[in-house]
Amino acid sequence: MCGRYSLTTPPEAMRRLFGFEALPNLPPRYNVAPTQEAPVVLPAGEPDGDGLRPQRTLAQRTLAMARWGLLPPFAKSPADGARMINARAETVATKPAFRRAFAKRRCLVPADGFYEWQKLGDGPKAAKQPWRIGLKGGAPFAFAGLFETWQPPLPEDVDAEATAGAPILSFTIITTTANAAIEKIHPRMPVMLAEADHDLWLSGAAEPAALQALLRPFPAEAMGYYRVSTRVNAVRNDDAECIAPLTAGGTED
């Protein structure tokens, strides 16, 4: 799956990959965790609500901050999104929580690495070794994501306009089976989109079959991975030590 990732790439490289007209305001993140806010790239015109803090717009795309953990339209509170941090590629088109977003609200989730924990033994006490995984050379890329704008329910008593909470933009990351390299660490991995597929993924005119075809494991030969410290386990640790290679081993990043 994918339950932590990093986004440490300097703004200029982000601007080039995603086609923003100006440098985005993106401080480095070494340890992005569920329920936290992270940047997402939305199709043109999104979001259309208030309070969503779009930062930069180009003709085809918007960069906005969103909460990790999809809040479907029927969510009763933001806590309901905490478990929806991933959606399986195999079922995303049909599951009630995801299918509308798959049809209408697809986004790119910028990253330059993700973490997977490898179980080193059996049983509940088995130690876990975290790995950082990404493209060889460390270039940034995009996860295939879905987004929703969730409107908090109105209280019943008072004037609705005065008490309506701000809408929350939320997202999830689609997962698929691990490729031949990653499966030694973990059986699943997030869907990474090649740059050439970004426009198709965001296109409102795309055929469902064409979209589904993008949800495949990224080629192993293009990827690198290395062990990192268990320091990354704690979400309060969000610094460069999280991405530092632990020892020799794995491939160079």
Partner DNA sequence: CCAGACGTTGTT
Partner DNA sequence: GTCTGG
Among 15, 20, 30, 34, binds DNA (CB under 7 A): 34
Q: What are phi and psi of 189, to 5 degrees?
A: -150, 160
Whichever of 40 and 185 has its CB closer to DNA, that residue is: 185
Structural tokens at position 89: 């590629």
Per CB under 7 A, which of residues 190..229 are in contact with DNA? none
Cα atoms in the 13 Å half-sphere on the side-chain side of 5: 33
Residue 20's nearest CA partner among 52, 48, 44 is 44
* By the rule CB under 7 A, 143 interacts with DNA: no
> What positions carry a catalytic annotation?
2, 116
Measured in whole angstroms, how far is the alpha carbon of residue 215 from the centre of its chain?
14
Instruction: Count residues near DNA (CB under 7 A).
Output: 41
Among 13, 23, 44, 126, binds DNA (CB under 7 A): 126
Please state the closest distance from residue 18 (CB atom) to DNA, in A. Answer: 25
* By the rule CB under 7 A, 230 interacts with DNA: yes
Whichever of 88 and 227 has its CB closer to DNA, that residue is: 88
* By the rule CB under 7 A, 187 interacts with DNA: yes
Interaction pattern, residues 78-117, with DNA; x per rule: CB under 7 A: -x--xxxxxxx--xx--xxxx------------------x
